[in-house]
């Protein structure tokens, strides 16, 4: 179960690394995929809901969006 979850999360982050800019719709799609992966791994719904809400807020910040771009240059 943990290996499957780990693989899904790695796939999600790999998709984001290939983008020069991360839009709000990209964030929404990424959070949807993360939510589904966690729920499939039997993580409690309340925990998933809170985690996704917190991550969405953090991802909307400019610092996080710039870090995706910086990682492409490294």
The pLDDT score that the predictor gives to residue 2 is 80
Q: How far from chain centre, in Å, is Cα 48?
A: 12
* Rounded mean pLDDT, 57-63: 71
Domain that holds residue 55: 2-73
What pLDDT is recorded for position 67?
57
Comparing 4-13, 16-25, 40-49, 57-66, the range with the smallest average pLDDT is 57-66
Question: How high is the pLDDT of residue 53?
Answer: 94
CATH code of 27's domain: 1.20.120.140
Q: How many folded domains does the chain comprise?
A: 1
Angle at 18 between CA 34 and CA 49, to 5 degrees: 15
- The whole-number average pLDDT for the span 16-43 is 87
CB 31 within 8 A of CB 52: yes
Enter the pTM of the model: 0.73
């Amino acid at each position: 179960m943990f290996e499957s979850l780990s693989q899904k999360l790695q796939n999600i982050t790999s998709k984001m690394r290939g983008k020069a800019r991360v839009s709000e719709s990209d964030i929404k799609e990424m959070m949807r995929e993360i939510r589904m992966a966690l729920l499939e791994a039997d993580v409690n719904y309340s925990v998933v809901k809170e985690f996704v809400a917190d991550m969405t807020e953090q991802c909307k910040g400019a610092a996080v969006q710039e870090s995706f771009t910086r990682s492409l240059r490294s």
